[in-house]
Amino acid sequence: MTQIRTARKGLQQKYLVYLVNLRDQIRKDPFVSVSKVASDNRCPFDLVPALIDLGIIEGSWSTGRNWIGDEPTYQMVNKMRRQAKENRTGKKAKPEDLYYGKSRDLFEQENPEAIRVGSGYIHKKTKRRRWCTIFTGTLFNLKFKIYKLK
C-alpha cells in the first residue's frame, strides 16, 4: 500500500469540499469540465483519474460523467489521495522494456557495439547527423540562426 504524507491542516477539508462540489456539478451537468471544478477549488487535476480508478466516477468528457460512489467522506478523501499517489509513482517508474520490445540484457547481447548514454544507447557504427549553422542574422534587434541537419 502506498504511503502518503500527513495532510497539512485544512487539506482534507479542502478535498472534501472539492468532492462535494464535483458531485453536485456532475449531477447538474454530466458534461461539466472537471478540470474547471478542480481549478476553482485549487486542487490538482490528477484527482479525477484517481476517482475513476476507485469506481466513484464513471464516464469521460465525451460521454458524460456519472457519480456512482457514496457520499463524500474523509475516508474517500484518503483513498483518493492514496490512489493519486499510486498513479503518479506509476507514471514516474521507468519500465524495463525501453529497448525495442526486448529486455535490456537481450538488447545488449544483440547490440554489443551500442554505448550506453543515460537511459538510451548510441550505436558507434551509424553515422551521426549534426546540426550546422547555415545563416546568422539580426531582425528588429533580435538575433537568429538557421540550422540544417547534415
What's the pLDDT tens digit per position in 31-75?
998 889 989 999 988 888 899 889 999 988 888 899 998 999 999
87 and 110, same domain (yes or no)? no
Number of separate domains in the chain: 2
| 75 and 132 together in one domain | no
Asked if 130 and 72 sit in the same domain, the reply is: no
Confirm whether 2 is domain-assigned.
no
- Model confidence, pTM: 0.59
Residues 86 and 113 in one domain: no
Residue 145 lies in a domain: yes
1, part of any domain? no
Q: Are residues 23 and 57 in the same domain?
A: yes
Last residue of a domain, one of 53, 77, 92: 92
Residue ranges making up the domain that contains 38: 11-92
Residues 6+ apart with CB under 8 A from 86: 2
Task: Answer whether residue 24 is part of any domain.
Answer: yes
For cell 547555415, the residue is 134
> CA of 117: how far to CAs of 100, 106, 150, in Å?
16, 17, 22
51 assigned to some structural domain: yes
Q: Residue 114: how many CB atoms within 10 A of its CB?
A: 17
Residue whose C-alpha is closest to residue 47's, from 12, 14, 19 = 19
Does residue 148 sit within a domain?
yes
What letter would DSSP give residue 102? B
Tell me which H or E stretch contains 1. none
Share of the chain above pLDDT 90, in %: 22
